[in-house]
Amino acid sequence: MSQQKNFTRSLGLAALFAALFSTGVAHAAEVEVDQKNKAFVHDGNKIEALTIKVGDTIRFKNEDPFFHNIFSLSDLKTFDLGSFPKGQSKTVVFDKPGLVEVECAIHPEMYMEVTVQ
């Protein structure tokens, strides 16, 4: 194969990977989940379960006049967002499929299951 053909093929592969990458990014969504009245709220409704896609981000936003500390001990996605006050939000990217249990360190009654498809 000539140098020119190799070069052309490399360009084609680069374009293909760029297209695949940008498509994946475009499909990843950011979903807002509020903490309100010591519950998880999505689109104005209290929820205990939420289904998202691999690569999606959840933005946890505190709408209560007191602190929340959202965390998960699930093997799939372990995180601890620390204490944050009203009006602040923190994001978590869910990069593997499975089930993640989300809790609040300050309010044991707060619980939500995130299914990542």
Q: Enumerate binding residues for Cu ion (CB under 5 A).
A: 68, 104, 106-107
Q: How far is the CB of 84 from Cu ion (least distance, A)?
A: 10
Which among 54, 64, 69 is positioned nearest to 34, based on CA atoms?
A: 64
Which among 115, 91, 90, 111 is positioned nearest to 102, based on CA atoms?
A: 111
Q: How far is the CB of 23 from Cu ion (least distance, A)?
A: 37
Q: How far is the CB of 75 from Cu ion (least distance, A)?
A: 23
**Between 61 and 68, CB nearer to Cu ion:** 68
Q: How far is the CB of 111 from Cu ion (least distance, A)?
A: 11
83 in Cβ contact with 67 (< 8 Å): yes
The DSSP symbol for 94 reads: -
**Between 5 and 108, CB nearer to Cu ion:** 108
Phi/psi at 48 (nearest 5 deg)? -120, -5
Question: For residue 33, what are its two tokens?
Answer: 């989940």
